Chain A
């Protein structure tokens, strides 16, 4: 076939891609395209996972080692159900944080660390450039095969401009620059590009099936025939079993793990799955559709491999069986279709990869440098936005150039599958920091950096470095004996590890030590405040995002950081003016050490944007607040909305917190009043009852006297009159005591004058006065009062009342027949201690506290109530307490009771 025909076909196909992308972009611009919201388009775009490696390489792999090629498709298929949690969470986080690459994702999680973003970008570059290069190789190789090696343009040693691969690369670069870096979109969405990629996924699937069906039904009589013949051939029969194909379970597991991680962490996969995603709901469809796609595209790999092996054997490289089978049968149209399928697999991968990588390179490598070098964001430099796009475009070209150079230097000696797996192993290094970061708050920036560096270095040592040695750039002894002859450092047998293939070996050590370093360093380091905020957002994203709708960006930065960044672009007086203006507008005082409200960040950015352009301002503020991708319109919108809402809600908050305090105080006061009211009501009820009782007796008996005086015997008359007198006394006593309590409780009692008076004298006098009463009832009364003067300050009459109350109680409760009462006064330190003891029935311990309450009286079983109001001891206690003293009772049932009053001696012992 002539080169012209092949190139024409390729150009035609690219033309279709252009048209598709252009049309979709145009529709999207008018807001008419619903394609992006279609979950099937989303699922097909994920199939960018299937590259030329799948298209050509799987058959190559299958013809060498049977089903082993399946491992890297089983991994993604197995992890797909977990996307419901994993990928959706990733998407919600990324939309909330305006994340536009895997580097951005990891850096955002760990406090928007620039170091991490750069590190991830570099690892991605190392991992992905060889991967892109083999796609270029696949395209040029397929043209070479198709044209039956007639042209010298496909030799690796051809000069750059004479190499067809260069022109292929250039065409892809143009397409990517046009559709991957056409505009600066805050969401980094490229509708046209994704539509083209989804279209390509269909093309490669259909092309592969066309050739597969041709092999099965054109070359054989169906699958059964093919397999029967293959089983009969010892060369192909061994491919049916895993062990026969020489695949160990370790490799199988490792490949599945690597591919399960790569499906989310490869820059291009992250780009299509997360960045280009328009709604997390789309994941639900992709969860079953994408594994189905993988099944379909792999279904016919083995038949083609078997047929190739049987028909072509080693006359053609096994990687080209898909193409060489139709060529061998001289079917030109079919071979062109196959070529287009492979071409589409390669181009989609190259386009998406270079778009994704260029975003990372421009945002995390080039722009930080430009901003630091003041090559951007100055009044003399061109507007930021166009510079940014230029950087993107140059990055795309640069990445593809690097891939081509790689291919031309050492890449030629590698097969498709190995390079793909090396790439997978590189991006798998993102797994600990990215995945743990979504669920483990404790992970720190230092931990992520340590893990990534260790994983990256081990990867680089075990795979690319070893590959360089194998390619002859280093001594072979590096591989066989280890550097400086240290055998435990052999790149394929690190620490003496045997029994693993090179990829599994490198993946095992790099991931193990990466994870270990991440966990250990995280546990031993402290996250910064920004890291904590970000960790919290990542881990608990569903608390921050209502439902799954994308939220307005929240940004955080220290005010001092904002100051510093703005100072890079403006003179200090201008910066101060901006901040003081903000303070004035919002009537607040800014603290340099505090975190700035999103409102302030937006304000600062808008102010800056007015002078140096929106993109530069975004980048500049982004260097501290890490939110580059937000348009000026969005900033304005957010600013307008949040400022109003914030101000309003702040005012509300203040008001409602004031109200809350007042309400709380009111409730407390009300409770107190209610309690007082209850006490008062209880008191009144009790007093009324206590008054009614004597009144009842008096009323009934006086009426009896009035009506039946004539028929009453003398002794009854006498007894009734006595009752009348004592009950009347009871009433007047009660009334006096109620008045006393009222005075004492309301605080109107006169405790002043506080001149000291001598307590011993009061006790002596009162005891003397009461002695007559004791004698009358033949109660033995003894008193022991010291000679020394014990002075007490307070209300003399009340103290007299205390002594009288205690002695009356003793008189009332002492033993009825052989009553004994004793009184003693003594000094104990700074207190005067008065004790009155009787020999009555005593008081059970559980009553010792209650007897000093209102209306508590001890009741006897047989004699009814003792004569008393139940207020005496209460009043006594109150008086003593008002004088700064205390009262207690010591008693046991049947052993009498001793009341002890302690009063402070004046002057109180200083």
Chain B
């Protein structure tokens, strides 16, 4: 692997970020972190990540809204978005896809499944 994919992690729970950061760094991704939606938009615009892992229930701007804003930024056309959330209802899942998410993962997650999913998405889109 010649280049390291850039991943932006967005969650208001620092401990969850700690865990994911470890898992993805181990796989060779370059990690940046944001604790809320606005921060996420700033960082995404500046770094143009290949993948964004996005929580939904966050104070202020929620994950769906963040995704809509991200999708309006043409610089991020190739960026993939994965929702990682405790909101597991069918309607939430549909909302996720409707707002531009590629994948919808439910908390709590299985580490191995999580990592392999990320790889799959990076490989096939």
Q: Are these two chains actual partners, yes or no?
A: yes
Residues of A within 8 A of B (CB): 688-689, 692-697, 699-701, 703-704, 707-708, 716, 719-720, 723, 726-727, 857, 859, 861-865
Q: Does B35 sit at the interface, judged by CB under 8 A?
A: yes
Closest residue of chain B to A723 (Cβ to Cβ) is B15
Closest residue of chain B to A701 (Cβ to Cβ) is B19
Q: Which of chain A's residues have a CB closer than 8 A to the CB of B107?
A: 692-693, 695-696
**Does B59 contact A707, Cβ atoms closer than 8 Å?**
no
Question: Once the chains are docked, how many angstroms separate the CA of A478 from the CA of B109?
Answer: 120
**Contact A696 B18, CB 8 Å, known A708-B26, A861-B39, A865-B59:** no
**Does B13 contact A864, Cβ atoms closer than 8 Å?**
yes
Instruction: Tell me, rounded to whole Å, the shortest Cβ–Cβ distance linking A478 to chain B.
Output: 102
Question: Once the chains are docked, how many angstroms separate the CA of A695 from the CA of B109?
Answer: 10
Instruction: Tell me, rounded to whole Å, the shortest Cβ–Cβ distance linking B2 to chain A.
Output: 24
| Interface bits B45-66 vs A (CB < 8 Å: 1, else 0) | 0000000000001011000000
**Does B14 contact A704, Cβ atoms closer than 8 Å?**
no
Counting chain B CB atoms within 10 Å of each CB, the highest count among A697, A704, A720, A865 belongs to A697
Q: Which of chain A's residues have a CB closer than 8 A to the CB of B38?
A: 861
Closest residue of chain B to A707 (Cβ to Cβ) is B111
Interfacial residues of chain B within 20-36, with CB under 8 A of chain A in the complex? 20, 22-23, 26, 35-36
**Does A864 contact B86, Cβ atoms closer than 8 Å?**
no
17 pairs, CB–CB < 8 Å, chain A vs chain B: A688-B86, A689-B86, A689-B87, A693-B107, A697-B13, A697-B19, A699-B109, A701-B19, A704-B19, A704-B111, A723-B15, A723-B18, A727-B15, A863-B14, A864-B13, A864-B35, A864-B36
Question: Once the chains are docked, how many angstroms separate the CA of A688 from the CA of B89?
Answer: 12
How many residues on the B side are at the interface (Cβ–Cβ under 8 A)?
26
Instruction: Tell me, rounded to whole Å, the shortest Cβ–Cβ distance linking A682 to chain B.
Output: 13
**Does B13 contact A859, Cβ atoms closer than 8 Å?**
no
Q: Which of chain B's residues have a CB closer than 8 A to the CB of A689?
A: 57, 86-87
Q: Which of chain A's residues have a CB closer than 8 A to the CB of B110?
A: 703
Q: Which of chain A's residues have a CB closer than 8 A to the CB of B16?
A: 693, 696-697, 700
Closest residue of chain B to A703 (Cβ to Cβ) is B111
Q: Which of chain B's residues have a CB closer than 8 A to the CB of A701?
A: 15, 18-19
Question: Once the chains are docked, how many angstroms separate the CA of A703 from the CA of B115?
Answer: 13
Closest residue of chain B to A861 (Cβ to Cβ) is B36
Instruction: Tell me, rounded to whole Å, the shortest Cβ–Cβ distance linking A814 to chain B.
Output: 20
**Does B86 contact A696, Cβ atoms closer than 8 Å?**
yes
Question: Once the chains are docked, how many angstroms separate the CA of A707 from the CA of B111?
Answer: 10
Q: Which of chain A's residues have a CB closer than 8 A to the CB of B86?
A: 688-689, 692-693, 696
**Does B57 contact A865, Cβ atoms closer than 8 Å?**
no
Q: Apart from A701-B18, A708-B22, A863-B35, what 14 extra A-B contacts exist at CB < 8 Å?
A: A688-B86, A689-B57, A689-B86, A692-B107, A693-B86, A696-B109, A697-B15, A699-B109, A700-B20, A723-B15, A723-B18, A727-B15, A861-B38, A864-B14
**Does B108 contact A700, Cβ atoms closer than 8 Å?**
yes
Closest residue of chain B to A862 (Cβ to Cβ) is B35
Minimum-distance CB pairs A-B, first 3: A859-B59, A700-B19, A692-B86
Closest residue of chain A to B56 (Cβ to Cβ) is A689
Question: Once the chains are docked, how many angstroms separate the CA of A662 from the CA of B18?
Answer: 59
**Does A704 contact B22, Cβ atoms closer than 8 Å?**
yes
Q: Which of chain A's residues have a CB closer than 8 A to the CB of B13?
A: 693, 696-697, 864-865
Question: Once the chains are docked, how many angstroms separate the CA of A720 from the CA of B20?
Answer: 12
**Contact A700 B23, CB 8 Å, known A863-B35, A864-B35:** yes
Closest residue of chain B to A712 (Cβ to Cβ) is B22
Q: Does B12 sit at the interface, judged by CB under 8 A?
A: yes
Q: Which of chain A's residues have a CB closer than 8 A to the CB of B87?
A: 689
Question: Once the chains are docked, how many angstroms separate the CA of A861 from the CA of B60?
Answer: 9
**Does A859 contact B111, Cβ atoms closer than 8 Å?**
no
Instruction: Tell me, rounded to whole Å, the shortest Cβ–Cβ distance linking B25 to chain A.
Output: 11
Instruction: Tell me, rounded to whole Å, the shortest Cβ–Cβ distance linking B38 to chain A.
Output: 7
Closest residue of chain B to A716 (Cβ to Cβ) is B22
**Does B108 contact A696, Cβ atoms closer than 8 Å?**
yes
Q: Which of chain B's residues have a CB closer than 8 A to the CB of A865?
A: 12-13, 59
**Does A704 contact B108, Cβ atoms closer than 8 Å?**
no
Instruction: Tell me, rounded to whole Å, the shortest Cβ–Cβ distance linking B89 to chain A.
Output: 9
Question: Once the chains are docked, how many angstroms separate the CA of A720 from the CA of B35?
Answer: 19
Closest residue of chain A to B35 (Cβ to Cβ) is A864
**Contact A864 B18, CB 8 Å, known A689-B57, A859-B60:** no
Q: Which of chain A's residues have a CB closer than 8 A to the CB of B57?
A: 689
Instruction: Tell me, rounded to whole Å, the shortest Cβ–Cβ distance linking A841 to chain B.
Output: 14
**Contact A692 B108, CB 8 Å, known A697-B19, A701-B15:** yes
**Does A700 contact B111, Cβ atoms closer than 8 Å?**
yes
**Does B39 contact A862, Cβ atoms closer than 8 Å?**
yes
Interfacial residues of chain B within 70-115, with CB under 8 A of chain A in the complex? 86-87, 107-111
Q: Which of chain A's residues have a CB closer than 8 A to the CB of B22?
A: 704, 708, 716
**Does B23 contact A704, Cβ atoms closer than 8 Å?**
yes
Closest residue of chain B to A726 (Cβ to Cβ) is B15
Instruction: Tell me, rounded to whole Å, the shortest Cβ–Cβ distance linking A421 to chain B.
Output: 89
Question: Once the chains are docked, how many angstroms separate the CA of A708 from the CA of B25?
Answer: 13
Instruction: Tell me, rounded to whole Å, the shortest Cβ–Cβ distance linking A708 to chain B.
Output: 7
Closest residue of chain A to B20 (Cβ to Cβ) is A700
**Does A695 contact B108, Cβ atoms closer than 8 Å?**
yes
Question: Once the chains are docked, how many angstroms separate the CA of A756 from the CA of B93?
Answer: 54
Closest residue of chain A to B60 (Cβ to Cβ) is A859
Q: Which of chain B's residues have a CB closer than 8 A to the CB of A864?
A: 11-14, 35-36
Closest residue of chain A to B111 (Cβ to Cβ) is A703
Counting chain A CB atoms within 10 Å of each CB, the highest count among B20, B57, B60, B111 belongs to B111
Closest residue of chain A to B22 (Cβ to Cβ) is A704
Question: Once the chains are docked, how many angstroms separate the CA of A688 from the CA of B92?
Answer: 15
Question: Once the chains are docked, how many angstroms separate the CA of A859 from the CA of B39?
Answer: 14
Question: Once the chains are docked, how many angstroms separate the CA of A697 from the CA of B17?
Answer: 8
Question: Once the chains are docked, how many angstroms separate the CA of A707 from the CA of B112?
Answer: 10
Q: Which of chain B's residues have a CB closer than 8 A to the CB of A720?
A: 18
Q: Which of chain A's residues have a CB closer than 8 A to the CB of B36?
A: 859, 861, 864
Q: Which of chain A's residues have a CB closer than 8 A to the CB of B39?
A: 861-862
Q: Which of chain B's residues have a CB closer than 8 A to the CB of A688?
A: 86
Q: Which of chain A's residues have a CB closer than 8 A to the CB of B14?
A: 863-864
Question: Once the chains are docked, how many angstroms separate the CA of A863 from the CA of B18?
Answer: 13
Question: Once the chains are docked, how many angstroms separate the CA of A859 from the CA of B109?
Answer: 25
Question: Once the chains are docked, how many angstroms separate the CA of A708 from the CA of B19?
Answer: 12
Q: Which of chain A's residues have a CB closer than 8 A to the CB of B108?
A: 692, 695-696, 699-700
Closest residue of chain B to A863 (Cβ to Cβ) is B35
Q: Which of chain B's residues have a CB closer than 8 A to the CB of A699?
A: 108-109
Instruction: Tell me, rounded to whole Å, the shortest Cβ–Cβ distance linking A644 to chain B.
Output: 59
Question: Once the chains are docked, how many angstroms separate the CA of A857 from the CA of B13?
Answer: 13
Instruction: Tell me, rounded to whole Å, the shortest Cβ–Cβ distance linking A713 to chain B.
Output: 11
Instruction: Tell me, rounded to whole Å, the shortest Cβ–Cβ distance linking B43 to chain A.
Output: 12
Q: Which of chain A's residues have a CB closer than 8 A to the CB of B11?
A: 864
Closest residue of chain B to A692 (Cβ to Cβ) is B86
Question: Once the chains are docked, how many angstroms separate the CA of A704 from the CA of B109?
Answer: 12
Question: Once the chains are docked, how many angstroms separate the CA of A708 from the CA of B24?
Answer: 13
Question: Once the chains are docked, how many angstroms separate the CA of A700 from the CA of B17?
Answer: 10
Q: Which of chain B's residues have a CB closer than 8 A to the CB of A863?
A: 14, 35
Q: Which of chain B's residues have a CB closer than 8 A to the CB of A704?
A: 19, 22-23, 111
Question: Once the chains are docked, how many angstroms separate the CA of A320 from the CA of B12?
Answer: 117
Closest residue of chain B to A691 (Cβ to Cβ) is B86
Question: Once the chains are docked, how many angstroms separate the CA of A726 from the CA of B60?
Answer: 25
Instruction: Tell me, rounded to whole Å, the shortest Cβ–Cβ distance linking A715 to chain B.
Output: 13
